[in-house]
């Protein structure tokens, strides 16, 4: 019997990498093999040496095609079978193996995104602006909510694919939504974020609506789109001091993190709209105007996790989870 395997990879687009996918028909229960593509069409190779390698790293059921069809998430290798320069997963795997056993890092990522239809955010009128922000966050009713049937279909697809999706909500800006993945290890959460993004784009295609990760889709008094990254180590899940130490450690490398948290971050981290300015690091309990928030429940329990509120919606989760692991676990080890 033949099945369809959708090979999914991350390209070399700058400044923000994009997903690409193509289909391989596989016969008789064969494992999805290593495959290749034309890297000269994805900003990953020159035309005269265009071959790049697709190495499968995670296989899940394909909820869009259904049946026995599969999605095959791949990392990109060179023809020497080394990580391609655009492959940020390899360094994430390295950080996870360096610190994993002692610190057991977990990540939960809140992926925000915005639907666009006919060149403007879904719900914006053709001329002028909709009612100002206030009623849209977790709103109910067709005057406030645009795209719910797409969001529900995406949630169904993530669950059918076996992803660790932990929730969804409508966001502060009209046409803006969020899903959360995790908590899982750095590599596992990142793989699932990329698969959930793939499913988001594919699900929305059928409705003729585009989902975008633009961090500031509308200038002015409208919230941007972020990817709050919640983090804990085994030690943070057992006591409070490591949480404060983690928040302090993130402050030591603020610039490095901000530079790697998604293109155009300075347009989103303005100090307004529930953000802290990108020029200054801060942390606090329950503080949605800080770079890093310690949730009230964590402060009350004296154990739990912290929330890095800085990453943009268009961030690369392999890079963000690697940096947080290296900074917080590295600081605890005296490696920084």
Footprint of ligand ADP (CB under 6 A): 106-108, 110, 166-167, 180, 182-183, 228, 230-232, 237, 304-305, 307
Tell me the closest approach of the beta carbon of residue 46 to ligand ADP, in angstroms.
Answer: 40
Q: Which does 254 bind (CB under 5 to 8 A by kind): Mn ion, ligand ADP, none?
A: none
- Contact pattern from residue 166 through residue 205 relative to Mn ion, giving x for each residue in contact according to CB under 5 A and a dash for the rest: ------------x---------------------------
Tell me the closest approach of the beta carbon of residue 38 to ligand ADP, in angstroms.
Answer: 36
Q: Which does 182 bind (CB under 5 to 8 A by kind): Mn ion, ligand ADP, none?
A: ligand ADP
308 binds Mn ion (CB under 5 A): no
Tell me the closest approach of the beta carbon of residue 125 to ligand ADP, in angstroms.
Answer: 29
75, 110, 188, 214: residue in contact with Mn ion (rule CB under 5 A): 110
Within its chain, how far is the Cα of 279 from the centroid? 23
DSSP notation for 211-259: EE--S-SS-SSS---B--EEEE-TTTTT-SHHHHHHHHHHHHTHHHHHH
Burial 181-192 (b: 16+ CB within 10 A, else e): bbbbbbbbbbbb
Phi, psi of 142 (to 5 degrees): -75, -10
Residues 6+ apart with CB under 8 A from 2: 25, 26, 27
Of the candidates 15, 18, 184, 212, which has an alpha carbon nearest to the alpha carbon of residue 92?
Answer: 184
Torsion angle of C-alpha atoms 62, 63, 64, 65, degrees rounded to 10: 60
Tell me the closest approach of the beta carbon of residue 113 to ligand ADP, in angstroms.
Answer: 14
Tell me the closest approach of the beta carbon of residue 101 to ligand ADP, in angstroms.
Answer: 17
Of all helices (H) and strands (E), which one includes residue 37? strand 35-38
Position of minimal CB gap to Mn ion:
228
Position of minimal CB gap to ligand ADP:
108
Within its chain, how far is the Cα of 94 from the centroid? 19
The answer to whether the bond into 260 is cis (omega within 30° of 0) is no
Of the candidates 331, 86, 94, 334, which has an alpha carbon nearest to the alpha carbon of residue 231?
Answer: 331
Cβ proximity to ligand ADP, 189 vs 314, nearer residue:
189
Cβ proximity to ligand ADP, 20 vs 197, nearer residue:
197
Cβ proximity to ligand ADP, 103 vs 124, nearer residue:
103
**Rounded Cα gap, residues 274 and 276, in angstroms:** 7
Cβ proximity to Mn ion, 87 vs 223, nearer residue:
223
Cβ proximity to ligand ADP, 75 vs 326, nearer residue:
326
Cβ proximity to Mn ion, 228 vs 268, nearer residue:
228
Size of the site for Mn ion (CB under 5 A): 3
Query: End-to-end alpha-carbon separation of the chain, Å?
Result: 53
**Which residues sit opposite 184 in a β-bridge?**
107
Tell me the closest approach of the beta carbon of residue 230 to ligand ADP, in angstroms.
Answer: 3
Q: Which does 237 bind (CB under 5 to 8 A by kind): Mn ion, ligand ADP, none?
A: ligand ADP
Of the candidates 185, 194, 195, which has an alpha carbon nearest to the alpha carbon of residue 322?
Answer: 185
Tell me the closest approach of the beta carbon of residue 272 to Mn ion, in angstroms.
Answer: 15
Of the candidates 86, 81, 61, 64, which has an alpha carbon nearest to the alpha carbon of residue 72?
Answer: 61
Cβ proximity to ligand ADP, 232 vs 319, nearer residue:
232
Of the candidates 290, 288, 272, which has an alpha carbon nearest to the alpha carbon of residue 280?
Answer: 290
- Contact pattern from residue 210 through residue 229 relative to Mn ion, giving x for each residue in contact according to CB under 5 A and a dash for the rest: ------------------x-
**Residues making contact with Mn ion (CB under 5 A):** 110, 178, 228
């Amino acid at each position: 019997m033949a099945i369809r395997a959708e090979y999914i990879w991350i390209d070399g687009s700058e400044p923000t990498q994009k997903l690409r996918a193509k289909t391989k028909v596989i016969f008789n229960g064969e494992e999805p093999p290593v495959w290749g593509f034309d890297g000269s069409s994805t900003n990953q190779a020159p035309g005269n040496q265009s071959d790049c390698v697709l190495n499968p790293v995670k296989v899940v059921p394909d909820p869009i095609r259904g049946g026995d069809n599969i999605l095959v998430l791949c990392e990109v290798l060179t023809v020497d079978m080394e990580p391609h320069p655009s492959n940020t997963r390899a360094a994430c795997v390295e950080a996870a193996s360096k610190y994993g056993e002692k610190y057991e890092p977990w990540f939960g990522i809140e992926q925000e995104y915005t639907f666009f239809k006919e060149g403007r955010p879904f719900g914006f009128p053709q001329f002028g602006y909709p009612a100002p922000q206030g009623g849209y966050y977790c709103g109910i009713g067709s005057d406030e909510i645009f795209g719910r049937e797409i969001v529900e279909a995406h949630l169904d697809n993530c669950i059918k694919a076996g992803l660790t999706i932990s929730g969804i909500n409508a966001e502060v800006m009209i046409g803006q939504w969020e899903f959360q993945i995790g908590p899982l290890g750095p590599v596992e959460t990142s793989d699932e974020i990329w698969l959930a993004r793939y499913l988001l784009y594919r699900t929305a295609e059928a409705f003729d609506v585009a989902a975008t990760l633009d961090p500031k889709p509308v200038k002015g008094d409208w919230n941007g789109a972020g990817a709050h990254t919640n983090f804990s180590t085994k030690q943070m899940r057992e006591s409070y001091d490591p949480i404060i130490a983690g928040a302090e450690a993130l402050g030591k490398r603020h610039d490095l993190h901000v530079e790697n948290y998604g293109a155009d971050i300075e347009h989103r981290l303005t100090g307004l709209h529930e953000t802290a300015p990108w020029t200054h690091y801060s942390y606090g309990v329950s503080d949605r105007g800080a770079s890093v928030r310690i949730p009230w429940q964590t402060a009350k329990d004296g154990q739990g996790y912290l929330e890095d509120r800085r990453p943009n919606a268009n961030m690369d989760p392999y890079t963000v989870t690697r940096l947080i692991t290296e900074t917080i676990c590295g600081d605890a080890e005296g490696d920084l």
